[in-house]
């Protein structure tokens, strides 16, 4: 007996729709980020030859002042957490660039400052960093470089970080985020396998029904019962 396969409903995939999305080259953040990355590659190469990294150089520059710092204040000044600032100071102490001192009035308070080697390194490296900055941005010319620096300072010094944090929080309240499911591919494969197993089971029931001269069981309900 011929099998009536038309009982199996076909489920065509919906047509794929490509929504218009602007290329990343049209966004300012892309150029700012790529500029930072390309400058950092050259700058980090200089620092590696000397034996420090960018965060350590930022700390050394802050410490190049008459007053002493606490590790917490230093970390906050360069945008690091309390734990991160403490680890940074420990690395600089181990390299002989920074010294910790305990004060008599409060044995729990420790101030930090540059060693002689640390001061000499800052004096040596500062002109080289300035020359690197001028060389990288030299194609802009002095006037454009001046105004770009001024615009970036204005952007960063007007509370934009706090504003953006509030703005993002507001957007998250207005929309339902589409969260990435790291198991999506595995789940899709499991669903496909389950559908294949279901179809195979249906085919077996149709074959048994035909062998007994019975009508083919309907799709979807064929797996219910014997």
Q: Give the pLDDT band of residue 104 (cuts 50, 70, 90).
A: low
Give the CATH number of domain 24-136; options: 3.40.50.11030, 3.40.50.150, 1.10.760.10, 1.10.10.10. 1.10.10.10
Domain segments of the chain as ranges: 24-136, 186-226
pTM: 0.63
Q: For all residues of the chain together, what is the average pLDDT?
A: 83
Q: Give the pLDDT band of residue 7 (cuts 50, 70, 90).
A: very low
The model's pLDDT over 165-214, given as tens digits with 9 standing for 90+, comes to 888 889 888 888 778 888 888 888 888 888 888 888 888 888 888 888 88
Q: Closest by alpha carbon to 46, among 134, 131, 112?
A: 131
């Amino acid at each position: 007996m011929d099998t009536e396969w038309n009982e199996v409903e076909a489920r065509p995939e919906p047509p794929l729709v490509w929504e218009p999305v602007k290329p990343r080259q049209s966004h300012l953040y892309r150029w700012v980020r790529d500029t930072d990355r390309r400058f950092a590659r050259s700058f980090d190469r200089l620092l590696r030859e000397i034996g420090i990294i960018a965060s350590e150089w930022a700390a050394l520059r802050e410490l190049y002042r008459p007053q002493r710092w606490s590790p917490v204040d230093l970390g906050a000044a360069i945008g690091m957490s309390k734990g991160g600032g403490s680890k940074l100071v420990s690395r600089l102490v181990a390299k002989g660039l920074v010294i910790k001192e305990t004060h008599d009035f409060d044995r729990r308070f420790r101030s930090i400052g540059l060693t002689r080697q640390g001061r000499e390194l800052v004096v040596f490296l500062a002109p080289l960093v300035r020359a690197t900055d001028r060389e990288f941005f030299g194609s802009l010319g002095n006037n454009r470089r001046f105004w770009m620096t001024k615009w970036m300072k204005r952007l960063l010094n007007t509370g934009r970080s706090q504003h953006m944090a509030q703005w993002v929080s507001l957007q998250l309240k207005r929309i339902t985020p589409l969260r990435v499911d790291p198991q999506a591919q595995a789940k899709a494969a499991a669903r496909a396998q389950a559908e294949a197993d279901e179809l195979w089971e249906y085919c077996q029931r149709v074959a048994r029904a035909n062998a007994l001269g019975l009508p083919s069981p309907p799709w979807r309900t064929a797996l219910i019962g014997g």
